[in-house]
Amino acid sequence: MDTEKLRLPRSRQANERLHAMIPGGAHTYAKGDDQYPEHLAPVISHGRGAHVWDIDGNRYIEYGSGLRSVSLGHAHPRVIEAVRRELDRGSNFVRPSIVEVEAAERFLDTVPTAEMVKFAKNGSDATTAAVRLARAATGRPRVAVCADHPFFSVDDWFIGTTPMSAGVPAATTDLTVAFPYGDLAATEQLLKRHQDEIACLILEPATHTGPSPSPQLGSGRGDPTPGYLAGLRELADRHGCVLIFDEMITGFRWSEAGAQGLYGVVPDLSTFGKALGNGFAVSALAGRRDLMERGGLRHSGDRVFLLSTTHGAETHSLAAAMAVQTTYVTEGVTARLHALGERLAAGVRDAAAGMGVGDHLVVRGRASNLVFATLDENRQPSQRYRTLFLRQLLAGGVLAPSFVVSSALSDADIDHTVEAVARACAVYRKALDAADPTPWLAGRPVKPVFRRSA
């Protein structure tokens, strides 16, 4: 499909309707039409496996499905069957359902480094509960977040540190400090500077979203330097603060037990979501019994309002989570994600190199969590070149804000994607030669999610 022939009239109309009723035109900023080339933001009709169809009738191979949450592909049979079994049995009661017992047992069997778990609906609730619990346990006010990881929560303690800080009191933001990923010395300096004030260190145990490898990350494949997480564990213990792993992305994609299961470093608390429900709304806060029980009834101290959500134990979402865990373990999904990602990364890199843009279209990250950076003629990150690249991919039937794979992808899907990338790279080369991608944009460039003005 030629970009000149790609027209999305129904999607354009639907986007206008969305903006008229929903601030930002989407319920997640990362799904906004400002993240896509102008007038080329498809509105989805339905999905099956690794494919989605927009309301204009176009079919796409989809990456990063559901902001990384749909790792098994859309409408996965085992997950849908488990959900359907619960739908006729009721979804929410005045007392706990037996499904809550079964889901907790299944989760703790899958993530044996945790001793207790509490479910919720989204990641922000879980991470904020972890922070509140750490503050209660330590009696300290400050939160130390990893500065190199892009998102932890929609709540004030984190959002106040981003460019979209409007509405967050400075007094709240001042209680959040930052440490660099991989730098134990800098982290210890921070802990000493705020001696006995920092309640917790919160970070993604392993991730990589930048355009090039950092000194702290192996070869840009998303693994921390050997000894880093263990060193962070020791620092937290020595300075009396709680170590929290945000496993929203790494959970299941790194191993069934998350990055903590892969690297063998046990946090005090950890949070899971995204892949846990394969698109159904479920998240989890897990961790040490002595900490988690502070939000329970079997301790003698002050109670912590840990998590108390109307829909946190919705039966069909917990059934989905159990089916996801079973599928990962029995079908070796994590290994498949890595194999697919390796094939895709190799193909994209070869295609980019073959078109002479190998230094400008850069693929990084763990094979199961690939991202790409688009660099300009000076090898600087460029939203304009990203726009050009996304336009060409869309015209090739590929919807890819990232290259994060799902296990539903086939080898044919990967081959088609690589072919679309090669065609996009040919146009990319022309723009680089002209030192100006403007003629290939056909509208405003895509924009960063976190920015101060609309």
DSSP letter string, 330-371:
HHTHHHHHHHHHHHHHHHHHHHHHHTT-TTTEEEES-GGGBE
Domain 92-313 part of CATH 3.30.110.30: no
Mean pLDDT of 236-246: 98
User: Where do we find the tokens 């693929």?
Assistant: 363
Parallel, antiparallel, or unpaired: how do β-strands 142-146 and 198-203 relate?
parallel
pLDDT at 225: 93
Identify the H or E element spanning 270. strand 269-272
pTM score over 0.85: yes
The more confident residue out of 432 and 218 is: 432
Q: Would you give the DSSP letter of residue 408?
A: T
Q: Where are the alpha helices (DSSP H) in 36-76?
A: 65-68
Reply yes or no on whether the pLDDT at 212 is more than 70.
no
CA 264 to chain centre: 22
Residues 261 and 17: their CA atoms lie apart, in Å, by: 45
Say what percent of the chain tops pLDDT 70: 96
Query: What does pLDDT average to over the chain?
Result: 94
Other residues' Cβ atoms within 10 Å of the Cβ of residue 144: 23
Contact 279, 290 (CB under 8 A): no
Q: Is residue 442 classed exposed, middle or buried when 0-12, 13-18 and 19+ CB atoms within 10 A define those classes?
A: middle
Buried/exposed 317-354: b ≥16 CB within 10 Å, e otherwise:
bbbbbbbbbebbeeeebbebbbbbbbbbbebbbebbee
pLDDT at 450: 85
Amino acid making up residue 373 = A
Mean pLDDT of 15-31: 95
pLDDT at 216: 36
Residue 2 confidence class, pLDDT cut points 50, 70, 90: low
Domain 9-75+333-440 part of CATH 3.90.800.10: no
Pick from 370, 449, 447: which is nearest to 402 by CA? 370
Residues 376 and 326: their CA atoms lie apart, in Å, by: 44
What is the tens place of the pLDDT at every residue in 28-70? 999 999 999 999 999 999 999 999 999 999 999 999 999 999 9
Mean pLDDT of 153-161: 93
pLDDT at 37: 96
pLDDT at 215: 34
Reply yes or no on whether the pLDDT at 262 is more than 70.
yes
Please state the domain extents for the chain.
9-75+333-440, 92-313
Rg for the chain, CA atoms, rounded: 22
pLDDT at 208: 61
pLDDT at 300: 84
Residues 448 and 312: their CA atoms lie apart, in Å, by: 31
Q: Determine what percent of the chain falls in helix, strand and coil, rounding each to the nearest 5.
A: 45, 15, 45
Residues 396 and 425: their CA atoms lie apart, in Å, by: 12
pLDDT at 205: 97
Q: In degrees rounded to 5, what are phi and psi of residue 200? A: -155, 155
CA 452 to chain centre: 22
Reply yes or no on whether the pLDDT at 414 is more than 50.
yes
Pick from 72, 70, 71, 46: which is nearest to 60 by CA? 46
Mean pLDDT of 115-119: 98
Contact 91, 314 (CB under 8 A): yes
Residues 113 and 129: their CA atoms lie apart, in Å, by: 19
Residues 125 and 306: their CA atoms lie apart, in Å, by: 9
Other residues' Cβ atoms within 10 Å of the Cβ of residue 157: 22
Residues 243 and 265: their CA atoms lie apart, in Å, by: 11
39: tokens are: 């007038």
Reply yes or no on whether the pLDDT at 395 is more than 50.
yes
Reply yes or no on whether the pLDDT at 222 is more than 80.
no
Pick from 322, 49, 359: which is nearest to 211 by CA? 359
Reply yes or no on whether the pLDDT at 101 is more than 60.
yes
pLDDT at 3: 62
pLDDT at 6: 85
Reply yes or no on whether the pLDDT at 1 is more than 60.
no
